[in-house]
Amino acid sequence: MINHSALCRAAAFVLLAVAPRLSFGVDTRVWEQSEQAEFGRGTAKHLSIRSDGRITLAPQVNELDSTTVPYLWAIAQDSKGTLYYGGGAPTGATAKIFSLAPNGKPKTFAELTGLETHALAIDSENRVYAAVLPDAKIYRIDRNGKPQLFFDPKCKYIWAMAFDHAGNLFVATGDTGVIYKVDPGGNGSKFFETNETHARSMIVDGSGNLIVGTEPGGLIIRVTPKGQGFVLYQTSKREITALAERDGIVYAAAIGSKPVSLSVTGTPPVLPQKQAPVTPAGTQRVGTPPPATPPPVPSFNVSVAGGSDLYRIETNGFAERIWNSPTDLVYAIAFDRSGAPLLGTGNKGVIYRVDSDQLSTELLSTPPTQVTAFLQGRNNNVYAVTGNVGNLYSIGPGLEDAGTLESEVLDADDFAYWGRAHIRSTLNGGLISLETRSGNLNNPENNWSPWSKVSLSDLGGEIQSPAARFLQYRLTLACGSGGQSPSLSIIDIAYLPKNIAPKVQQIDLAPFNYREAPSMSPLERSVAASGSPMTLALPAVGQKRAAAPISTLESAGSATLQYSKGFETIRWAASDANGDPLEYKVEIKNTDGSIWHLLKDKLLDRFYAFDTAAFPDGRYVVRVTASDAPGNIPANALSASMESDPFTIDNTPPEIRTVRVNGHHVTFTATDALSWIDKAEYAVEGGDWILLEPVRKVTDSRQLDYEIQVPAGTTVAIRVFDEDDNVSVKQVPLQ
């Protein structure tokens, strides 16, 4: 037997749930791409993509040499500008050193006994020093390429070498983690013991101190010219692969998950110690003693769990992580001409630029698997060597002339009509062009339409590709005459799927005593009946709003906003590392103005709604300032601010223009200064409102054309809404 009572309750709940979203036909959808991950799913060539989705032209990359060795791990430059670079392979017979003079051709400079070269250095007389391994030795090579044994530390590995201002060569080794000091005559002695298995990386800072990175403890150690050591930071990673210093600030790259016994949580654990040998004079021991059995040797060409971190250590000693990746492994650090850190990584050959503590840019991608070393050359030119395969590149300083991005394929789920494309961009004297192609196979290479140019304007650009299920776009950025790159941050493509018969998938029963929304005004009832939601469900802060209709039953972290004409709601996320209570100040300004106007101060909530009718129509930004004043005395209170993306305030109704009557036929144009036209309706002789579709079918612009067929001798009322629910009404008598 059918339970009629249950069916009635279920039907009532379905109507309640969908009433705010009733629609007449299929709505226009918008495919928006604005995030790095979204653009990254396409294929970029000669383009850089910032972490917030901003696309620009990449720096020029020139291949200077493609060597015969699979890995290059070290690079140096003498005072005349000649580049020296070396590497090797675990299966090689000799380790080769290559050279490239200015305006010259690459050549093999020297061959050494050993499998691999991981460190190169050049003294004040332009003599080249190369360290080979295993059974590490250092050779000094004269200008004719003849090597001579310079120093034998009696260890297995040499990972880094650096000269001080006095001409002493410092040598970072493994598997004993000892730093050696070698005078110009080749006489060396132990200078510092890290008590780590590997002194994995090393530089000399501007004050003559050694900065040393270790493995497996992941320590960053400063060693004074007198051999006194001080741990600047103990990272949560296993291996410090690269170090760099600029203006007294140290940058360190760390990779790999640390063994549980070496993890740091609060107080570092006390590890079992064995009897330490007598320390030579002038040597300080730092960290924990090496284990009895050395861990595996650091390697460039294997997968390392744990990803990478980049740390910045200020001149006052404060250290913090400013960049990380769960997958990419950082092997090299350099700086571009503005001082921004560049990171060479594997195992995808990507070079990143760290723009700020919040932003980074996937600057370019090299064909080889790993970017193993950088050189900050003369005139701040940046050079890179790679592994898998061993190539030499120069990076910048100019930009590529042009770059392209072929997007991922949009699947409209069924046959769809394409509307207009809109982009948010800054040209800077350059050019941005857009093309599309479409098809009914998910592989764009097979029997798709050819690429069609989209003519972009302020009203968007109409897509010429034929209606189909799948669509792909191609962006081309071209450099301007002044050498500046255009930039793009958002691309929107409107489309209208073909209407498909609905299906009832599930019916739920409403909870008992489900609360009704407050009574609606006539305008609000009209909005609800037209399909615009009376309540707006928002995702958690930082997440995009779903394209599909959102249920009025919200999950944790979301919010439901009651419809209220003319209001704008601001929400934000904030945190305090100390757990202090926070208060907020909210300000607003026009994007063309310079004066901030206070909306609310000493706000404890993390949201604020205001009536936009108090402001002229236009483009605005808001600024939210978080202060920890409630938990601190005034002298110690701190604050931080962030500005929103620009948004539009539009309280002006659209205009109904160029109304023409020709017998039974009425045509008109709906326009709006700031917002897209959302819908148009007409009523004959005061009857019910009837929905209109644009002449072009797709609702995708601030200007749309409409046409009506009505009986002669009647009066027609036309009503037009913009996307901000501003409405205009006009009566048209038909003679």
- Asked whether 205 and 315 are in contact (CB, 8 A), the reply is no
3-state secondary structure of 14: helix
Residue 207 backbone zone (phi > 0: left; psi -120 to 50: alpha; other: beta): alpha
- The pLDDT value recorded for residue 636 is 73
Neighbours of 156 (CB within 10 A): 16
- Three-state DSSP class for residue 476: strand
Residue type, 444: P
- Count Cβ atoms within 10 A of the Cβ of residue 393 and give its class: 0-12 exposed, 13-18 middle, 19 or more buried: buried
Percent of the chain with pLDDT over 70: 81
pLDDT of residue 522: 47
Give the span between the Cα atoms of 552 and 570, in whole angstroms.
Answer: 20
CA-to-CA dists, residue 89 to 114, 132, 173, 303, angstroms: 10, 11, 19, 17
Instruction: Supply the pLDDT for residue 663.
Output: 82
Residue 158 structure tokens: 């040499």
Strand extents, DSSP E, 336-376: 341-346, 350-354, 360-365, 370-376
Reduced to 3 states, what is the DSSP secondary structure of residue 713? Answer: coil
pLDDT of residue 534: 55
Q: What is the DSSP string of 170-224?
A: EEEEESS-EEEEE-TTS-EEEEEE-SSSEEEEEEE-TTS-EEEEEESS-EEEEE-
Question: Which tokens in the block code for residue 25?
Answer: 């036909």
Quote the tokens at residue 508: 């739920």
- Cα separation of 475 and 421, whole Å? 12
- Amino acid (1-letter code) at residue 469: R
Strands 71-77 and 83-88, by their bridges, are antiparallel
Q: What is the number of other CB atoms lying within 10 angstroms of the CB of residue 225? A: 16
Amino acid 230: pLDDT: 97
Q: What is the pLDDT of residue 411?
A: 95
pLDDT computed for residue 233 by the predictor:
97
pLDDT of residue 260: 60
pLDDT score at 516? 30
Distances (CA, A) of 660 to 663, 698, 733: 10, 22, 11
DSSP-assigned states of every residue in 558-584: -EEEE--TTEEEEE-----TT----EE
Name the token pair of 655: 């205009």
444: helix, coil or strand?
A: coil
pLDDT value for 535 = 59
Measured CA to CA, the distance from residue 505 to residue 507 in angstroms comes to 7
pLDDT value, residue 651: 87
Low-confidence ranges of the chain (pLDDT < 50): 1-26, 262-302, 501-519, 522, 525, 529-531, 548-557
Q: What is the DSSP string of 525-558?
A: HHHHHHT--SEEEE-STTSPPPSSPPPSSPPTT-
Domains and CATH numbers, the chain: 29-56+403-497 (2.60.120), 70-268+281-328 (2.130.10.10), 567-650 (2.60.40.10), 655-733 (2.60.40.650)
Closest by alpha carbon to 311, among 298, 321, 296? 321
| Structure tokens belonging to residue 227 | 């051999």
pLDDT at 78: 95
The H helix count followed by the E strand count for the chain is 3, 55
Burial class of residue 379 (count of CB atoms within 10 Å of its CB; 0-12, 13-18, 19+):
exposed
Overall pTM > 0.85: no
DSSP line for 53-102: S-EEEPEEEEEEEE-SSSEEEEEEE-TT--EEEEEE-TT-SEEEEEEE-T
